[in-house]
A = this chain, B = another copy of it.
Amino acid sequence: MCHDLALSLHHSMFIPGIERLATDEQKAEWLPLALNFKIIGTYAQTELGHGTNLLALETTATFDPTADEFVMNTPKITSMKWWPGGLGKSSTHAIVLAQLVLRGKNHGMHPFIVQLRSLEDHTPMPGITVGDIGPKLALQNIDNGFLMMNNVRIPRTNMLMRNAKVSRDGHFSSSGSSKANYATMILIRVKILSWASSLLVQGATTSIRYSAVRRQSQLKPGGEEMQILSYQSQQYKLFPALAAAFAYHFVTRTMTAVYEKAYEEIIGGNNRLLAELHSQSSCLKALLSEETCVFLETQRRSMGGHGYMLMAGGGAYLLGAMTLPTVEGENTVLYQQTARYLMKQVANALSGQQLQGSSSYLAADPEYVCPIQEVNDCRNTRILLDIYRNRAYGIVTGTARKLHADMTSGMEQHVAWNNNMIRLVRAGKVHSQYYAVECFVEGVE
């Protein structure tokens, strides 16, 4: 998992951030410094008070036309940047996301390069208060930090201007290709699929090997102690996770291909696949991150007390995986983003539109009759896939009907959404499960 490395944000966010967000001129200035470690960077977006609701971030970059500078401020306690890896002790620079203010008018969130610490003696620059946020459940090797800025001045040209510009005279212009930034956020969710998948593979290997070596107790009095893998209960703990590890491998492979195809279109200006990509990456990130945690904990316990030692391996995977359900979109929020897309698709289908992609099954009632006649049918993956599809169809369309009925009966939309939130989260989840099983079935066939 990339999170295992200190300074990982220099490589995973700071350098790629410059590559994606900077003009060619800015790249020529900053990339050589970063690539040669003359400067160490991080990416500061989340604040103490806001993570999920990005639009409400409070850090400001106010243009001062007299000095041709931006004045950076974190006006309240809740505005301080909180969590960026490498910020606590290591970084000299950060890409800071801030509300751009021009002549009193807010032009939305934009990225700015801010120097945090002296390149001579590493002390904080004037107006900068920076430090480590303190101990976490694990990953202590990453110095997650906080950052407060009090009238910190940076040159106007430190705004990364590939997608939006502020001219010398304070004029704002946007190239409008902000969907490419959006696609980058989605990329991180797709990467989380591969991290979850890889952690689960490691956990499965460790716990199954342990269970083949460890012997404990005997069921037949006087007999030899049994390999614990021979106990039915141990197999029940370990084999579903092993199957899931394969499923997640195929999910990751499929979604990576879907992403690459969509990204190529998006940078070409065609956003046809964006909504589908956003929906699928949201619910699958939520599903794989939450289930991986459950499986890794089951695997850890399957090693008895030894699973609590870090040297056993499984516990360390688990503590790393436990970051995944809340980073890069909190899972409950992500399932709802998928649900919002699915509700629209159900409405589109009702209005006669042809549905494309992962939600096309919502177009028609499968009029499902369970085809299982004998035990062996339960091993037929196509039959299992049908069952998952039927379940998703029933729950997603049922949720849409309930939401529609509530609003028809006079409930305000936001009240109806909240009153049906458990259903909506479940709709996003069963949809993701159907898709994951589909990737699995197609992968193993």
Contact = CB atoms under 8 A, between A and B. Distances in A.
Given A216-B53, A417-B219, A304 B319 contact: no
B137 A308 contact: yes
Interface of A: 46, 50-53, 56, 83, 133-138, 216-221, 223, 225, 230-234, 236-237, 293, 297, 300-301, 304-305, 307-311, 315, 318-319, 322-323, 325-327, 330-332, 336, 412, 414-415, 417-422, 425
A137 B326 contact: no
A308 B293 CA distance: 14
B233 A332 contact: yes
Nearest to A133: B309
B216 A315 contact: no
A309 B136 contact: yes
26 contacts: A46-B305, A50-B216, A52-B216, A52-B217, A53-B216, A134-B309, A134-B310, A135-B309, A136-B309, A136-B310, A136-B315, A137-B138, A137-B308, A137-B315, A219-B415, A219-B417, A220-B414, A231-B421, A232-B418, A233-B332, A234-B332, A237-B332, A300-B322, A301-B331, A304-B326, A307-B326
Give how many copies assemble into the complex. Answer: 2
Contact of A422 (B133, B232, B414): B232
A286 to B, nearest CB: 11
B236 A422 contact: yes
B134 A418 contact: no
Contact of A217 (B53, B219, B305, B425): B53
